[in-house]
A and B are shown apart, each in its own frame.
Chain A
């Protein structure tokens, strides 16, 4: 197996876990420290099937939606049709910020409008299809449906609003990044 490289997120969370273990030790000694570990392990074991299914689903979405397709699609789109298309692309594009921001950067340089970019990023954040399995798995059907339902209008709205208010700033933004 390859050597595991620690990253900041893991280290931060490990720090939080240590602090919590320390608090548990102060409250109930070693027994409470072990109780916490055992409880966490039990929860983890109980969601293993769920995790496997969620990761499989996320991987398949990733394999089926390539970044070339999204880039081609959204390259120089603008107007309200462009905004809707960008929402769709943002919802479908899998991967973390290290994936979708570079794509948004390509869109910016190939002529996409400010509203289109805003719609793309906001839809990725709020409509993300590849994130859906995890949210569904851990927070349950009820909470997930409410959350998606309430944020459904936001990405196109944010795109239109941004275009109307700040649309003219796009060339300065494009120049500054180039």
Chain B
């Protein structure tokens, strides 16, 4: 069991005990919610990991490092931002894919740009946003957030190296 798993297990146990002591059955509700999400997303997970497998086997190191490698500069940050906007699915799908790209040689800056862009600019979420907040809000939000992913990537590269 690695470090990340251990930390997650400990956190889950702490929350589980807290929920149990709070009463009202929230500990049981939490476990069943987690289980249902897992069950509902398992086909998605399976497909996502098949993609991860192919990314590893096809070993597109040359492709990855020339587009979004550590030395890819502005181009890498912009490509990463664009890719992040297009990524579909929840965190359990997107993070394994980004991890596979990182292992295939993506630089720190472009990787940060992809994560931040998927978080703040994912185009698929806009269809949920429009009916509740309207196009003016969406336009303002996208306008303000558009510079964030390249900026985060740039600052990350400057502070923590390629």
Binding site for B on A (CB under 8 A): 4, 6, 8-10, 12-14, 16-17, 20-21, 23-24, 27, 32, 35-44, 47, 49-64, 96-98, 101-102, 104-105, 108, 114, 117-118, 121-122, 125-126, 128, 131, 133-141, 143, 146-147, 150-151, 154, 158, 161-162, 166, 169, 172-173, 176-177
Contact = CB atoms under 8 A, between A and B. Distances in A.
Nearest to B96: A138
With a 10 A CB-CB cut-off, give which of A43, A55, A126, A128 has the most chain B CB atoms. Answer: A55
Nearest to A121: B141
Interface string B35-59: 1111000011111111111111110
Contact of A13 (B89, B132, B159): B89
Contacts of B133: 101, 104-105, 108, 117, 121, 173, 177
B95 A118 contact: no
Given A104-B133, A137-B5, A9 B89 contact: yes
A51 B99 CA distance: 15
Interface residues of B, number: 82
B124 to A, nearest CB: 8
Given A125-B119, A126-B120, A137-B95, A56 B53 contact: no
Given A36-B54, A143-B102, A64 B95 contact: no
